[in-house]
Amino acid sequence: MIDVIVAGAGPTGLMLAAELRLHGVGVVVLEKEAEPTEVVRALGLHARSIEIMDQRGLLERFLALGTRHQVGGFFAAIPKSAPTLDTAHGYVLGIPQPVTDRLLTEHAIELGAEIRRGAEVVGVDQDHAGVNVELADGTQLRARYLVGSDGGRSAVRKLLGVGFPGEPATVETLLGEVELTASPETLTAVTTEVRKTHLRFGAMPLAGGTYRVIVPAAGVAEDRALAPTLDELRQQLIAVGGTDFGAHTPRWLSRFGDATRQAERYRVGRVFLAGDAAHVHPPTGGQGLNLGIQDAFNLGWKLAAAINGWAPASLLDSYHNERHPVAADVLVNTRAQISLMALDPGARAVRTLLAELMDFEEVNRHLTEKITATAIRYDFGTGHALLGTRLRDVTLKRGRLYELTRAGRGLLLDRTGVFAADGWADRVDHVVDVSAELDVPAVLLRPDGHVAWAGDDQRALSAALSEWFGSPVG
């Protein structure tokens, strides 16, 4: 029996597979597409995802192939300078999704994950001991757990019968990678003028002479799964911008709307949903890929704990309890951003007012933190101000905090040397060190970097260790 089957080899599934392998869990990733896609659906990583790559020792690989951009102007494309964020990585890393996919694939394989392409899930059935998975070619597999990270049209979600309520699309945008004959000067002049009113418009150069073109559609298609034609794209470019830029030779064409939907449940017995399989929303702010990676980072260590036999009874349910509200907030902020980018007088008035409010640093930071996911605080009850937050990277005498998190274990950072976690030494690293950036005697971090306890009380620490890391040994 396989420990975990992951359906979908996108960033979410690949990140999850790597997290499971960190803990020695057997994992098979099933991807229905025979070859990796070259479609650039997402353009980069925000601060929290950059932190995650740092926590797992991957950041240098990403930095070598990406471009750092200043944070700012991401909320509804309202041009504002970057606020001060509580992170050591206060930038956006521009990196095309195919590169992210490749780097995460390499990482997962290095750790021992098995990836099977051309493997489409068509049947799911579970009992008290495991999950049976049927593939389109008739292959039958069985695993202790299954995770559906197979996109917005998730087969796993549909086979489970999980509701996917939300709001249908009211506006639609055409997107594609095409070659253009227009000069760079023409592209810049037209785009600058059009974006004074139409913010969903532009042509961004990619590698190999290809451009990423975006333009509002004429309406909402009955079947959004049906790709637009080149003629449709060219007609809309002319209608909105007065020119089609000489668009030709499309590499791919797509359409997206502002539909927002979220799975009612992220867990059904031994089956979980993550990434776009659990939530879909407009791409405003570039949050989708990042949200999925963060789902995987939350779920991976919890599934591994269950398989390795030390998970507390409530640990697997905490995945839905923590991540469902986070995605719900993303659905709200992306729909709000789409509304703020509309052309009617009411939307323009609200946009003008919000732009004025964003001149206040606290408002600008609050909205930017929604995009970067740096202010997420899980509800762990009452306690220290750090409780439930992710801890930023801090400098220690021996190096950096994130350098101590590479193994994906819990971490007790003890600034006094008086605390004990001996009964959990197989799951939690006890590090005695100090940091001028951390004003608390000790903190207990979960494997995902969120603070499970902070303070000076050994009894409270032991209770938190039991709550998140199970019963002590010995």
DSSP letters, 436-458, are TT--SSEEEE-TTSBEEEEES-H
Q: Are strands 91-94 and 67-70 parallel, antiparallel or unpaired?
A: antiparallel
CB 10 within 8 A of CB 103: no
Residue limits of CATH 3.40.30.120 in the chain:
395-469
Distance of CA 241 to the CA centre of its chain: 33
φ, ψ at 82 (rounded to 5°): -70, 130
Q: Locate all alpha helices (DSSP H) within 111-154, ordered by sequence.
A: none
Tell which residue, 200, 210, 353, 213, has the closest CA to residue 285. 200
Alpha-carbon span 297 to 405, nearest angstrom: 13
**Number of residues assigned to the chain:** 474
Closest CA to 368 of 55, 94, 78, 96: 78
3-state secondary structure of 379: coil
Give the separation between CA 43 and CA 49, rounded to whole angstroms. 13
Query: Tell me, what DSSP letter sits at residue 404?
Result: G
Architecture of the domain whose range is 395-469: 3-Layer(aba) Sandwich (3.40)
The first and second tokens of residue 428, run together, are 């939690």
Ranges in the chain, pLDDT < 50: none
**Residues 57-86 as b or e (16 or more Cβ within 10 Å = b):** ebbebbbeebeeeebbebbbebebebbebe
CATH 3.30.70.2450 range(s) for the chain read 171-257
Q: How far apart are the first and last CA of the chain?
A: 30
pLDDT in tens, 31-72: 999 999 887 788 899 999 999 999 999 999 999 999 999 888
Give the per-residue pLDDT at 106. 98
Nearest to 8 by CA among 157, 140, 143: 157
**Stretch(es) of the chain classified as CATH 3.50.50.60:** 2-166+261-372
Which contiguous run of DSSP H or E holds residue 6? strand 2-7
Instruction: Kindly indicate whether the domain formed by 2-166+261-372 is annotated with CATH number 3.40.50.300.
Output: no
Contacts of 54 (CB under 8 A, 6+ apart): 88, 89, 393, 402
Q: What are phi and psi of 52, to 5 degrees?
A: -60, -45
- Please report the pLDDT score of residue 287 as a whole number: 93
**What are the residues whose beta carbons fall under 8 Å from the beta carbon of 83, sequence distance 6 or more?**
71, 72, 361, 364, 365, 368
pLDDT at 199: 84
How confident is the model at residue 98, as a pLDDT? 94
| DSSP assigned state of 32 | S
Write the class of the CATH domain 171-257.
alpha beta
**Residue 28 to residue 7: CA distance in whole angstroms:** 9
